[in-house]
């Protein structure tokens, strides 16, 4: 729950590789396509054998048949026909990335994650790449070299050398290339406010060149305001449609799985509202924070998002008036209800500044759909009762 309230932006492989390229990490030349015909032209432009790769925000595409080699443009078109529209563990493939096929001699693994326990970025490298890293960590933990970087001291090349030395990598040219990539990946990680940068596999070609063959890149949502180019990479089609609608309207909304819609003002109160609904024996259908305001438009926007979920049976409106007075919020609610049709019963609890007047306004409106309750617990019980 808390993790989902601090959402992160996962990038597609082709987007992560674009960032890698900008930070000087070697990647293969490639093109994006959404149709088999465009895949053929892309393969033609690239020349020679290519690999057609499903772009979905989930790993294990290779095993699922979402990655295929193609010798010719005709072949590439055929492969795209097979891959586009494919379902990979609940993710529909709408885009493919076509890149020059690599001749792989060896597959390594390199990543940087944010280690919350240590409060430091953690570098990990192993020469046993290509496969599930959890498997390596479990079966041969010694093969996985790990090193923390102090964010204040920053990254220093000796750390990359240390990491590579600890992994047992012996080839001098490979050592040098990997160390350089570690440094650049650290720059990509900090420069993009990433929470995860993973290259699996980091390959060595038959020519001895080290290159990123895959990319997993997760960026901290809270940093997107200062990273407009990365923020624009978000794929709204892939998100939950209600969460996408909420984002569009500027409503802070997280979809949950129950029947009681929750609308509060302030993140803390809204979290408490989710808890109290559960305490009263109900299941919240969402988390929705109205923020500081309570104007009619804000209420309309929030209610539109909440009622867009067909599971919602009742809505619990929990307001504590501070700077935003309860009478203002009550007027906002009444205006919102004039502007839109809400079928579900609405239970309102108002407390704080001008609560009396707010409640009076709501009662005077005498709408059958509107239930005013004196306390948070009463309101939660009522909302749960009305949801069955
Ligand atoms: P994932 O399955 O989602 O992790 O996708 P990857 O991009 O990591 O690809 C999975 C596997 O496909 C890799 O480990 C490679 O073995 C293989 N593969 C991907 N691209 C190429 C390529 O250009 N040439 C060759 N020979 N194999 C590739
Ligand atoms: Mn991979």
**Ligand 1 pocket mutation pick from 214, 215, 217 by most atoms within 8 angstroms of CB:** 214
Q: Is the pLDDT of residue 93 over 90?
A: yes
Q: Is the pLDDT of residue 3 over 50?
A: no
Q: Is the pLDDT of residue 379 over 90?
A: yes
Supply angle C-alpha 26, 28, 34, rounded to 5. 135
Q: Is the pLDDT of residue 1 over 80?
A: no
Angle at which helices 36-46 and 73-83 cross, to 10°: 140
Give the pLDDT band (50/70/90) at residue 8.
confident
What is the model's pLDDT at position 322? Answer: 85
Among this protein's residues, is 198 annotated catalytic? yes
What is the model's pLDDT at position 4? Answer: 40
Tell me the pLDDT tens digit for each residue of 129-167: 987 888 888 888 889 999 999 999 999 999 999 999 999
Closest CA to 332 of 317, 310, 314: 317
Closest CA to 185 of 20, 367, 326, 344: 20
Least confident of 3-7, 187-191, 226-230, 382-386: 3-7
Q: What residues pair up with 52 in beta bridges, in sequence order?
A: 68, 98
Ligand 1 atom index nearest CA of 214:
7
Tell me the pLDDT tens digit for each residue of 282-297: 999 999 998 766 778 8
Closest CA to 284 of 180, 202, 384: 384
Tell me the pLDDT tens digit for each residue of 322-341: 888 899 889 989 998 998 98
Cβ(101) to ligand 1 under 6 A? yes
Question: In the predicted model, what is the mean pLDDT of the chain?
Answer: 93
Share of the chain above pLDDT 90, in %: 76
Mean pLDDT to the nearest integer, 303-312: 93
Structure tokens at 146: 């790990």
Cβ(193) to ligand 1 under 6 A? no
Query: Around Cβ 113, how many Cβ atoms within 10 Å?
Result: 16
Give the pLDDT band (50/70/90) at residue 7.
low
Ligand 1 atom index nearest CA of 107:
14
**Ligand 1 pocket mutation pick from 53, 62, 70, 79 by most atoms within 8 angstroms of CB:** 62
Mean pLDDT to the nearest integer, 61-76: 97
Q: Is the pLDDT of residue 51 over 80?
A: yes
Mean pLDDT to the nearest integer, 89-117: 95
Ligand 1 atom index nearest CA of 58:
3
CA distance 294 to 328: 7
Of 1-5, 99-103, 351-355, which has the strongest mean pLDDT? Answer: 99-103
Q: Is the pLDDT of residue 300 over 70?
A: yes
What is the model's pLDDT at position 90? Answer: 81
Give the pLDDT band (50/70/90) at residue 243.
confident
Nearest CA to ligand 1 atom 16: 130
What is the model's pLDDT at position 33? Answer: 98
Q: Residue 198: CA atoms inside 13 Å, Cβ hemisphere, count? A: 18
Q: Residue 10: CA atoms inside 13 Å, Cβ hemisphere, count? A: 12
Give the pLDDT band (50/70/90) at residue 5.
very low
Question: How many A from CA of 62 to the centre of ligand 1?
Answer: 6
Cβ(214) to ligand 1 under 6 A? yes
């Amino acid at each position: 729950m808390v993790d989902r309230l601090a959402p992160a932006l996962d990038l597609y492989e082709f987007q992560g590789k674009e960032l890698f390229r900008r930070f000087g990490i070697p990647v293969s030349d490639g093109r994006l396509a959404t149709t088999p015909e465009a895949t053929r032209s892309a393969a033609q432009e690239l020349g020679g054998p290519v690999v057609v790769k499903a772009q979905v925000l989930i790993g294990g595409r290779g095993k699922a048949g979402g990655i295929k080699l193609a010798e010719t443009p005709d072949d590439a078109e055929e492969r795209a026909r097979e891959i586009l529209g494919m379902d990979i563990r609940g993710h529909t493939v709408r885009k493919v990335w076509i890149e020059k096929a690599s001749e792989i001699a060896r597959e390594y693994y390199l990543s940087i994650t944010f280690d919350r326990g240590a409060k430091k970025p953690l570098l990990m490298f192993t020469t046993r790449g290509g496969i599930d890293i959890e498997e390596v960590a479990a079966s041969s933990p010694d093969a996985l070299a790990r090193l923390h970087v102090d964010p204040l001291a920053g990254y220093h090349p000796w750390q990359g050398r240390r990491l590579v030395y600890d992994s047992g990598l012996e080839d001098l040219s490979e050592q040098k290339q990997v160390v350089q990539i570690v440094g650049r990946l650290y720059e990509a990680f900090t420069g993009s406010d990433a929470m995860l940068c993973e290259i699996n596999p980091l390959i060595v070609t038959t020519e001895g060149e080290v290159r990123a063959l895959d990319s997993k890149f997760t960026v901290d949502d809270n940093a997107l305001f200062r990273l407009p180019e990365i923020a624009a990479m978000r794929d709204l089609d892939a998100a939950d449609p209600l969460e996408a609608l909420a984002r569009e309207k500027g409503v802070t909304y997280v979809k949950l799985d129950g029947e009681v819609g929750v609308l509060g003002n302030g993140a803390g109160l809204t979290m408490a509202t989710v808890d109290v609904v559960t305490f009263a024996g109900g299941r919240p259908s969402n988390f929705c924070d109205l923020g500081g305001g309570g104007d009619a438009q804000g209420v309309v926007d929030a209610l539109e998002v909440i009622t867009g979920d067909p599971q919602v049976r009742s809505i619990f409106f929990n307001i504590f008036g501070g700077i935003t007075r309860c009478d203002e919020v009550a007027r906002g609610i009444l205006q919102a209800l004039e502007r839109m049709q809400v079928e579900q019963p609405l239970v309102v609890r108002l407390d704080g500044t001008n609560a009396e007047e707010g409640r009076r306004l709501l009662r005077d409106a005498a709408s059958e759909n509107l239930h005013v309750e004196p306390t948070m617990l009463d309101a939660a019980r009522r909302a749960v009762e009305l949801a069955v």
